[in-house]
């Protein structure tokens, strides 16, 4: 297949997450997608850039919230179309809004904008494979090669092979450690990274069949919506009436046409500070990672991230120190998952 023959895709960038577990760096005023966590630009910018090759991708469609709209508009490539959700209802309604704004035959590539993908070429190759399966009417999930028995991710169990991928035998909820370990030992399991591909009409068809009430309310919200330059504002009242749900529950688990493309692309959801530490290159032989002014002695696998004050750390292992304005976070790596429950992270 040459570039000319390959199915073009419309990237649909979902930009809604707060990322409370990356508090205090992630805050309402600058949520996770807009943080420069890895590399020289924000996760959102990197998500846009991954889909910027005009030979493979059409212009971007960004689905975002009122809170994020200005940031997203400022950072999205020129010409991007934006849908501003009046409220957060999960990924299924968000993707349905996008599907309504596209031609039925458009192949959507749904991408979260708060994840890290190290290998863009592998991502594009998987998108190509997914586009082909999507063009044949499948609802395609990216099945990410699991590098460790993560308990924070959902898993996809592979079914029978089809040309260009596999059927999906089962979507598995976040497992406990023992199950996660058995998944890796058995093989045939992938992480569900929230990346999907399908034709717009196929998605709406499945949604109408599986969640008719949601499908109707989204359609009403689109009908009653208003254009504002490149931004589209769905009707708030209709949208507010939706009982929110994820694409996994609302569509993917119920369809008979679920497929997956396997991909190994250095993916992380950077779900907490420990995950970020693991993604960042160590600055010394002891695995320490430092951003901002810092001095470390007898430390191992310590992450320091300071926006100004010098941080001096002595004699600690697997500890994360974050300084952000008037907030200082010090957590063991093992407790990084609990950061979102702190008063600061929830109250802000």
Decide if residue 108 touches a second copy (CB under 8 A): no
Contact between residue 4 and residue 56 where contact means Cβ atoms under 8 Å apart? no
CA distances from 271 to 37, 166, 340 (A): 12, 27, 10
Nearest 5°: CA angle at 89, between 84 and 93? 75
- Nearer Cβ to a second copy (120/306): 306
* 134 token code pair: 């999507």
Read off the DSSP letter of residue 293: S
Residue 275 beta carbon to a second copy: minimum distance, rounded to whole angstroms = 15
Interaction pattern, residues 14-53, with a second copy; x per rule: CB under 8 A: ----------x-----------------------------
Read off the DSSP letter of residue 333: G
Interaction pattern, residues 328-347, with a second copy; x per rule: CB under 8 A: xxxxx-xxx-xx-xxxx---
- Nearer Cβ to a second copy (58/327): 327
Q: DSSP string covering 20-82, please? A: GGGTTTSBTTB-GGGS--STTS-HHHHHHHHT--TTTB---EEEEEHHHHHHHHHHSPTT-EE
Residue 252 beta carbon to a second copy: minimum distance, rounded to whole angstroms = 34
Decide if residue 308 touches a second copy (CB under 8 A): yes
Interaction pattern, residues 245-284, with a second copy; x per rule: CB under 8 A: ----------------------------------------
Torsion angle of C-alpha atoms 138, 143, 341, 275, degrees rounded to 10: -150
Decide if residue 184 touches a second copy (CB under 8 A): no
Residue 115 beta carbon to a second copy: minimum distance, rounded to whole angstroms = 24
Judged by CB under 8 A, which stretch of 86-94, 184-192, 216-224, 291-299 contacts a second copy? 291-299
Half-sphere exposure of 292 (CA within 13 A, CB side): 16
Interacting residue with a second copy among 295, 305, 346, 348 (CB under 8 A): 295
Report the C-alpha gap between 89 and 83 in whole angstroms. 14
Decide if residue 290 touches a second copy (CB under 8 A): no
Judged by CB under 8 A, which stretch of 30-38, 185-193, 227-235, 314-322 contacts a second copy? 314-322
Residues that bind a second copy (CB under 8 A): 24, 295, 297-298, 306, 308-316, 319, 321, 323, 325-332, 334-336, 338-339, 341-344
């Amino acid at each position: 297949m040459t570039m000319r023959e390959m199915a073009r895709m419309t990237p649909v960038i979902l930009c809604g997450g707060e990322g409370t577990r990356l508090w205090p760096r992630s805050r309402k005023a600058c949520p996770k997608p807009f943080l420069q966590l890895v590399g020289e630009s924000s996760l959102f910018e990197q998500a846009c850039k991954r889909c910027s090759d005009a030979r493979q991708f059409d212009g971007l469609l960004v689905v975002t919230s009122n809170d994020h709209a200005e940031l997203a508009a400022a950072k999205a490539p020129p010409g991007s179309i934006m849908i501003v959700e009046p409220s957060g209802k999960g990924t299924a309604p968000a993707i349905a809004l996008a599907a309504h704004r596209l031609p039925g035959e458009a192949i959507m590539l749904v991408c979260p904008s708060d994840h890290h993908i190290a290998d863009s070429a592998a991502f594009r190759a998987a998108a190509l494979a997914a586009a082909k399966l999507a063009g044949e009417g499948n609802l395609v999930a990216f099945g990410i090669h699991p590098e460790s028995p993560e308990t924070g991710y959902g898993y996809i169990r592979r079914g029978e092979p089809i040309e260009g991928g596999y059927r999906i035998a089962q979507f598995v909820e976040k497992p406990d450690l023992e199950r996660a370990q058995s998944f890796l030992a058995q093989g045939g399991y992938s992480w569900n990274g929230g990346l999907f591909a399908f034709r717009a009409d196929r998605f709406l068809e499945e949604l109408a069949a599986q969640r008719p009430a949601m499908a109707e309310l989204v359609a009403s919200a689109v009908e009653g919506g208003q254009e504002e330059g490149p931004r589209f504002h769905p009707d708030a009242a209709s949208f507010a009436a939706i009982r929110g749900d994820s694409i996994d529950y609302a569509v993917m688990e119920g369809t008979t046409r679920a497929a997956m493309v396997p991909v190994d692309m250095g993916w992380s959801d950077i779900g907490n500070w420990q995950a970020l530490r693991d993604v960042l290159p160590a600055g010394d032989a002891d695995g320490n990672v430092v951003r901002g002014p810092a001095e470390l002695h007898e430390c191992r696998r310590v992450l320091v991230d300071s926006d100004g004050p010098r941080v001096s750390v002595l004699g600690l292992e697997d500890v994360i120190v974050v300084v952000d304005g008037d907030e200082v976070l010090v957590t063991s790596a093992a407790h990084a998952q609990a950061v979102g429950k702190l008063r600061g992270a929830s109250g802000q």
